[in-house]
Amino acid sequence: MSTVTLGGNAIDVAGSFPQVGAAAPAFSLTAADLQDVGLDAFAGKRKVLNIVPSLDTPTCATSTRKFNAEAGSLDNTVVLVVSADLPFAAKRFCVAEGLDNVQTLSTFRSAGFATDYGVAITSGPLAGVTARAVVVLDADNKVIHSELVSEIKNEPDYAAALAALK
């Protein structure tokens, strides 16, 4: 169990957060077309997992825009935005924002993802959604960067995540 803060107040986060050098846990999440998608669907590609509570919050929207602009154009790299948002809402956000370099994936049918990736908020007003985190995987699904953002209202360290891909 980890602890992060929301507006300075401690909240509990369950699970084991992936560390650099570890193999990424497999997952099955729901894509915008309502199909279940596993980590294996992105085999051979580098992956940026931009894990956010909800695209309906300013910080989550900002991180998605920034990764769309920065990482989405990198060779052999896919940006996966993982949230508890329903696939319809996530798709609508990306269309409205003109974001075509990210793929949204929802945890709404896959509660195990949050625990497997150590981002399951278990206390406070956001209990049931994910903490803010960035996990970068190489083409073989080995973790090459991981950041569990200590204050949910803060943005992740984009420079560090992108440096792992260079």
For 16-42, write each residue's pLDDT tens digit.
999 999 999 999 999 999 999 999 999
pLDDT for position 73: 76
**Does position 137 have pLDDT exceeding 90, yes or no?**
yes
φ, ψ of residue 63 in degrees (nearest 5): -65, -35
Beta carbons within 8 Å of 136's beta carbon, 6+ residues apart: 46, 47, 48, 49, 143, 144, 145, 146, 161, 164, 165
Measured CA to CA, the distance from residue 8 to residue 6 in angstroms comes to: 5
User: Residues 135-164: what's their mean pLDDT?
Assistant: 97
pTM of the model: 0.95
Structure-token pair, residue 57: 């919050």
pLDDT for position 71: 79
Measured CA to CA, the distance from residue 132 to residue 82 in angstroms comes to: 10
pLDDT for position 111: 78
CB 81 within 8 A of CB 104: yes
Residue identified by tokens 């990736």 is 117
pLDDT for position 126: 94
**Does position 54 have pLDDT exceeding 90, yes or no?**
yes
pLDDT tens readout for residues 85-96? 999 999 999 999
Catalytic residues: 60
Domain 1-162 in CATH 3.40.50.12280? The answer is no
Measured CA to CA, the distance from residue 54 to residue 92 in angstroms comes to: 13
Measured CA to CA, the distance from residue 44 to residue 20 in angstroms comes to: 18
Structure-token pair, residue 87: 């696939």
CB 156 within 8 A of CB 134: yes
